[in-house]
Amino acid sequence: MPRFDGRRVLVTGGGSGIGRATVSRLLHEGAAVVAADVSESGLKETAALAAEHADRLTTAVVDIADETSVREAVGGATAQLGGLDVLVNAAGILRSAHTHATSLEFWNTLIGVNLTGTFLMTREALPALLATGRGVIVNFSSTSAGFAHPYMAAYAATKGGIQSFTHALAAEYAKQGLRAVCVAPGSIASGMTGNPGLPEDTDRELLAKLRPALVGEGFADPETGFAGPEAVAGVVAMLASEDGAFITGTEIRIDGGTHM
**DSSP string for 198-224:** --TT--GGGGTT---S-BSTTSB-TTT
Catalytic residue, from 4, 119, 140, 155: name it: 155
Query: Is the per-residue pLDDT at 47 higher than 90?
Result: yes
pLDDT at position 260, please? 83
* Domains within the chain, CATH numbers bracketed: 8-254 (3.40.50.720)
Q: What's the DSSP call for residue 114?
A: I
1, pLDDT greater than 80: no
pTM: 0.95
Determine whether 155 is an active site residue.
yes
pLDDT digits (tens, 9 = 90+) for 116-145: 999 999 999 999 999 999 999 999 999 999
Strands of the 57-61 sheet, one edge to the other = 57-61, 32-37, 8-12, 86-89, 136-140, 179-185, 251-254
Q: How many angstroms separate the CA atoms of 139 and 125, rounded?
A: 13
Helix or strand or coil: residue 74? Answer: helix
pLDDT: is 203 or 90 the higher one? 90
* Residues contacting residue 44 through CB under 8 Å, at least 6 positions apart: 59
Other beta carbons within 10 angstroms of residue 230's beta carbon come to: 15
Residues 6+ apart with CB under 8 A from 206: 150
